Chain A
Amino acid sequence: MSKRLFVKGNEAVAMGAIEAGCRFYFGYPITTQSDIPEYISREFPKVGGTFIQAESEIASINMLLGASACGERAMTSSSSPGISLKQEGISYMAGSELPGLIVNICRSGPGLGGIDASQADYFQSVKGGGHGGYHIIVLAPGSVQEMYDLTMLAFDLSDRYRVPAMILGDSVLGQMKEAMTPHPYEPPVDLPEKDWVVTGKGAHGGQRIVKSLYLGDGELEAHNWRLHAKYAELKEKEVRYEGVGLEDAELVVTAFGSTARIAKTAIRMARDEGLRVGLLRPITVFPFPEQAFLQATETAKRVLCIELNAGQMVQDVRLSVDRDAEVFFYGRPPGAGSLPTPEELLEQIRKYYKD
Chain B
Amino acid sequence: MQQVFGHPASLKDVQTHFCPGCQHGTIHRLVAEAMDSFGVQDRTIGVASVGCSVFLYGYFDIDVVEAPHGRAPAVATGVKRARPDRIVFTYQGDGDLAAIGTSEIIHAANRGEAMTVIFVNNTTYGMTGGQMAPTTLPEQKTTTSPYGRDVEQAGHPIRMAELLTGLEGTAYSARVSVNSPKNILQAGRAIKKAFEMQIEGKGFAFIEVLSACPTNWGMNPLAANERVAEEMIPYFPLGVFKDNSEA
For A63, give its contact among B62, B68, B75 (CB under 8 Å).
B75
On chain A, the residues within 8 Å of B68 by CB distance are 62, 88-89, 92
Is A201 close to B, CB under 8 A? yes
How many Å from the CB of B43 to the closest CB on chain A?
4
- Do A70 and B71 touch (CB < 8 A)? no
On chain A, the residues within 8 Å of B107 by CB distance are 54-55, 59
- Do A52 and B62 touch (CB < 8 A)? no
Annotate A64-99 by CB proximity to B: 1 below 8 A, 0 otherwise.
Answer: 111111111010000000000000110010001000
Is B81 close to A, CB under 8 A? yes
- Assuming the A-B contacts A69-B79, A210-B64, A212-B66, are A62 and B71 also in contact, with contact meaning beta carbons closer than 8 angstroms in the complex? yes
- Do A68 and B57 touch (CB < 8 A)? no
Annotate B61-77 by CB proximity to A: 1 below 8 A, 0 otherwise.
Answer: 11111111001001111
On chain B, the residues within 8 Å of A62 by CB distance are 67-68, 71, 74-75, 78, 104
Is A26 close to B, CB under 8 A? yes
Cβ < 8 Å to B, chain A residues 198-212: 198-203, 207-212
- Tell me, in angstroms, the Cα distance from A213 to B63 when the chains sit together: 16
For B74, give its contact among A58, A208, A212 (CB under 8 Å).
A58
On chain B, the residues within 8 Å of A341 by CB distance are none
For B57, give its contact among A63, A64, A202, A207 (CB under 8 Å).
A207
CB-CB nearest in chain A for B87:
A200
How many Å from the CB of A44 to the closest CB on chain B?
12
Is A293 close to B, CB under 8 A? no
For A199, give its contact among B47, B63, B76 (CB under 8 Å).
B63
Q: How many residues of A contact B (CB 8 A)?
A: 39
How many Å from the CB of B159 to the closest CB on chain A?
21
On chain B, the residues within 8 Å of A124 by CB distance are none
How many Å from the CB of B180 to the closest CB on chain A?
33
- Do A66 and B86 touch (CB < 8 A)? no
- Do B63 and A198 touch (CB < 8 A)? yes
Number of A-B residue pairs, CB cutoff 8 Å, is: 136
Cβ < 8 Å to A, chain B residues 4-62: 41-45, 47-48, 54, 57, 61-62
On chain A, the residues within 8 Å of B220 by CB distance are none
For A59, give its contact among B41, B54, B81, B103 (CB under 8 Å).
B103
On chain B, the residues within 8 Å of A92 by CB distance are 66-68
- Assuming the A-B contacts A59-B104, A200-B44, A207-B62, are A24 and B74 also in contact, with contact meaning beta carbons closer than 8 angstroms in the complex? no
CB-CB nearest in chain B for A26:
B78
- Do B65 and A69 touch (CB < 8 A)? yes
- Tell me, in angstroms, the Cα distance from A213 to B65 when the chains sit together: 11
- Do A70 and B78 touch (CB < 8 A)? yes
- Do B65 and A198 touch (CB < 8 A)? yes
Is B156 close to A, CB under 8 A? no
- Do A200 and B47 touch (CB < 8 A)? no
- Do B104 and A52 touch (CB < 8 A)? no
- Do B78 and A202 touch (CB < 8 A)? no
On chain B, the residues within 8 Å of A59 by CB distance are 71, 74, 77, 103-104, 107
Is A56 close to B, CB under 8 A? yes
Is B1 close to A, CB under 8 A? no
A residues apposed to B, CB below 8 Å:
24, 26, 50, 52, 54-56, 58-60, 62-72, 74, 88-89, 92, 96, 198-203, 207-213
